[in-house]
Amino acid sequence: MAQGSLVGTWRLISWEFRDAEGHVSYPMGRDPSGYLTYSPDGYVSVTIASPNRTVFASQDMSTGTTEEKAAAFDTYISYCGTYERRGETVIHRVQASLFPNWVGGDQERIVEWQDSHLRLSTRPMLIAGGTRTVHLLWERLGAAPHQHT
């Protein structure tokens, strides 16, 4: 794929918050994991998780404690929907999300290319009581090895 093509699957390299003074913080730690997929037919899917997430005491996810569920929510982001490229931005039209407030809305990302990497960032927004920008660096993945069952 050409450098300017979003189509494909991407692996998260880093996720940073930056404030107006240039301070950087890492909302999911310095080594989060995540995948971003743009399909050729216009769909997008995003999943990001903190490393070393705490597991529930039970294997039955419906019986997790309030604290376990809150910790799981705080260490994971996922949403999907459709996307549209608009100049130097991409618009994610959210159809399902762990954070219900995003459903039915748009998430705009500024698109920048850094060698073979894709950087997606936001315009300044209110996060954790302050104005910040979000910066995500992604690396394009090749075809996954086929699994035989």
Task: Note the pLDDT of residue 127.
Answer: 84
**Using one digit for the tens of pLDDT, what is the confidence trace for 62-90?**
899 999 999 999 999 999 999 999 999 99
- Asked if residue 125 is part of any domain, the answer here is yes
The CB density around residue 86, as the number of other CB atoms within 10 Å, is 10
- Asked if residue 127 is part of any domain, the answer here is yes
How far, in Å, CA of 95 to CA of 111, rounded? Answer: 21
What's the pLDDT band for 91 if we cut at 50, 70, 90?
very high
- Asked if residue 112 is part of any domain, the answer here is yes
Task: Note the pLDDT of residue 3.
Answer: 52
- Asked if residue 31 is part of any domain, the answer here is yes
Ramachandran region, residue 68 (left: φ > 0; alpha: ψ -120 to 50; beta: rest): alpha
Task: Note the pLDDT of residue 142.
Answer: 83
- Asked if residue 18 is part of any domain, the answer here is yes
- Asked if residue 2 is part of any domain, the answer here is no
Read off the pTM: 0.88
Task: Note the pLDDT of residue 1.
Answer: 38
Count up the domains in the chain and report the number.
Answer: 1
Domain interval for residue 76? 8-56+71-140
- Asked if residue 40 is part of any domain, the answer here is yes
> Could you tell me which of 76, 81, 91, 97 has the C-alpha nearest to residue 33?
76
**Using one digit for the tens of pLDDT, what is the confidence trace for 4-21?**
789 999 999 999 999 988
**Using one digit for the tens of pLDDT, what is the confidence trace for 98-141?**
999 999 999 999 999 988 899 999 999 888 788 999 999 999 99
User: How far is the first Cα of the chain from the last one, in angstroms, to the nearest whole number?
Assistant: 30
Instruction: Judge residue 10's burial from the number of C-beta atoms within 10 Å of its C-beta, 0-12 exposed, 13-18 middle, 19 or more buried.
Output: buried
- Asked if residue 131 is part of any domain, the answer here is yes
CATH number of the domain within which 125 lies: 2.40.128.280
Task: Note the pLDDT of residue 2.
Answer: 46
